Amino acid sequence: MKLKGGIYHRTQIDLTYNSNKIEGSRLSHDQTRYIFETNTIGASKESVNVDDIIETSNHFRCIDFIIERANNKLTESIIKELHFLLKSGTSDSGKD
């Protein structure tokens, strides 16, 4: 169930925050949660990288994609589709 505070909610926020942090995102856990819950970034005194915001939003969709295909065999095609979903709309999206 997609209840606030439930396992889906926590997984979306925590997995996205930690995965993006490993990749160099400067978004805080609270900013990640705010994007998930409100689809906005909120006010911030510091500059925020647009790619960090886009990838965070895309990451939420990737998790849903994985959940929807949990019973499917993991293939190269699925991995490429996940990568495409994650990078869509970022400055990296135009690269080969």
pLDDT tens profile 7-23:
899 999 999 999 999 99
pTM given for the model: 0.83
**Domains of the chain: residue spans and CATH:** 7-94 (1.10.3290.10)
Q: Which residues, in sequence order, are CB contacts of 88 under 8 Å at separation 6+?
A: 54, 58
Contact 94, 84 (CB under 8 A): no
pLDDT tens digits along 31-84: 999 999 998 887 677 888 899 999 999 999 999 999 999 999 999 999 999 999
What is the C-alpha separation between 42 and 29, in angstroms, rounded?
A: 13
Asked whether the predicted pLDDT for residue 1 surpasses 60, the reply is no
If DSSP codes are grouped into helix, strand and coil, which group holds residue 14? Answer: helix
Residue 3: per-residue pLDDT: 60
Residue 69: per-residue pLDDT: 94
